[in-house]
Amino acid sequence: MPDLYSPPAAVLFPYGHIVCDVAPPHVRNLYEVPTVAKFKSDIDDLCRTSRPLQLAELEDLPRTRQGKTSGRRFLFSFDDGMREVYEVIAPILREKGLPAVLFLNSATIDNKRLMWRHKISLVMEKAKEKPSRIPPQLSGRPEKSLQAKLNALRYADQSLIDELATFFEIDFEDYLLRNRPYLTTEEVQDLARWGFEIGAHSASHPYFCELGSAVQEKEVSDCVNFVRSLGLPCRCFAFPFHDNGVTVSLFQYMSGQNLDLSFGTSEARVDSIAFSFQRFALDGGNANISLRNKLHQLSAKSLLRMVTGTQTILRNQ
């Protein structure tokens, strides 16, 4: 498959969460994680065919996204504000002189609490040790296996997740204390001093399509205000999980919050919102796929969507 992938303004937006050789328990059951060697290989592949782009340059692109470009560019981003960004990812990017945007969840910075999906991963980890123990709270769920039942839990199930932790004798506070999975405010400020852009990723990492408009706005503003309270500009927002179903009105609200750029995760699609760009994952099912092959997959998706007329994301009011 030839490389036919042509994103808006010829910019590639690869994103991830962490990079490490052994995935920690709080993400181990959620997605596959690229190794350090794989991440470095992906960087080398990108640098051979594209040049890095600064966020300040990207801010000028929505007005010229249909215009001519001088070769393909790329901008890394990393979600959830986890400590591996500081310990592993940032040193590699600094060594290679590459920019990136780091999207934070304000509720978890300084290890104030575990994000709900990370709690689910810990429960899944414990459930593997005791597969015969079925929590009575899940007995009526339709999924066949216990792992499937746990993986199907949603943002609205947070009280249930805490009950399951009690059932499996998991102490989330102890895990936070011992493992410190998230960045501290001091580390965030270090990263900003090193030239990385700091963006907002919501307060508590919900699925936005499951929230009312008022709660969506609060998730945005709480996180943006937190980042700005650190003395950082916070010019961009990345939706947790995806931006499927997000309406024009929320993007208008974001503009009113002086957010210049928005990011989703719809890979080969083009957004009808001028300042919204779609990213593709480096982890999950792509953790063991070479970046070259991933771009070939995106080419195939892009071609199919052009043929079927589904390449553009149209937003409801």
Whether 244 is in a domain gets the answer yes
pLDDT of residue 306: 82
For the stretch 293-314, pLDDT in tens is 898 888 888 888 888 988 889 9
Whether 300 is in a domain gets the answer yes
Asked whether residue 110 falls in the same domain as residue 127, the answer is: no
Domain boundary among 143, 160, 176: 176
Asked whether residue 202 falls in the same domain as residue 91, the answer is: yes
For the stretch 47-87, pLDDT in tens is 998 999 999 888 777 544 554 455 689 999 999 999 999 99
For the stretch 100-156, pLDDT in tens is 999 999 999 999 999 999 999 999 999 999 888 889 999 888 888 999 999 999 999
Q: At what angle do helices 116-129 and 158-167 cross, to 10 degrees?
A: 30
Whether 97 is in a domain gets the answer yes
Beta-bridge mates of residue 238: 263
Domain boundary among 125, 143, 176: 176
Whether 86 is in a domain gets the answer yes
Asked whether residue 146 falls in the same domain as residue 227, the answer is: no
- For the residues 83-92, what does the mean pLDDT come to? 98
Whether 3 is in a domain gets the answer no
Asked whether residue 251 falls in the same domain as residue 166, the answer is: no
How many domains does the chain divide into? 2
Whether 1 is in a domain gets the answer no
Distance, in Å, from the CA atom of 224 to the CA atom of 236, rounded to the nearest integer, reads 9
Domain boundary among 176, 199, 220: 176
Asked whether residue 161 falls in the same domain as residue 100, the answer is: no
Taking the complete model, does pTM exceed 0.85, yes or no?
yes
Whether 83 is in a domain gets the answer yes
Residue 190's domain is classified under what CATH number? 3.20.20.370
Give the residue, 268 or 28, on which the prediction is more confident: 28
Asked whether residue 31 falls in the same domain as residue 65, the answer is: yes
Give the residue, 160 or 59, on which the prediction is more confident: 160
Location of structure tokens 């992906």: 42
High-pLDDT (> 90) share of the chain, %: 78
Asked whether residue 214 falls in the same domain as residue 151, the answer is: no
Asked whether residue 164 falls in the same domain as residue 194, the answer is: no
Whether 76 is in a domain gets the answer yes
Asked whether residue 130 falls in the same domain as residue 31, the answer is: no
Q: Which of 163, 235, 188, 225 lies closest to 85, judged by CA?
A: 188
Write out the residue range of the structural domain in which residue 36 sits.
Answer: 8-114+181-313
Asked whether residue 61 falls in the same domain as residue 127, the answer is: no
Distance, in Å, from the CA atom of 201 to the CA atom of 109, rounded to the nearest integer, reads 12
Say which residues have a Cβ less than 8 Å from residue 184's Cβ, sequence separation at least 6: 109, 110, 111
Asked whether residue 157 falls in the same domain as residue 187, the answer is: no
Give the residue, 49 or 197, on which the prediction is more confident: 197
Asked whether residue 188 falls in the same domain as residue 162, the answer is: no
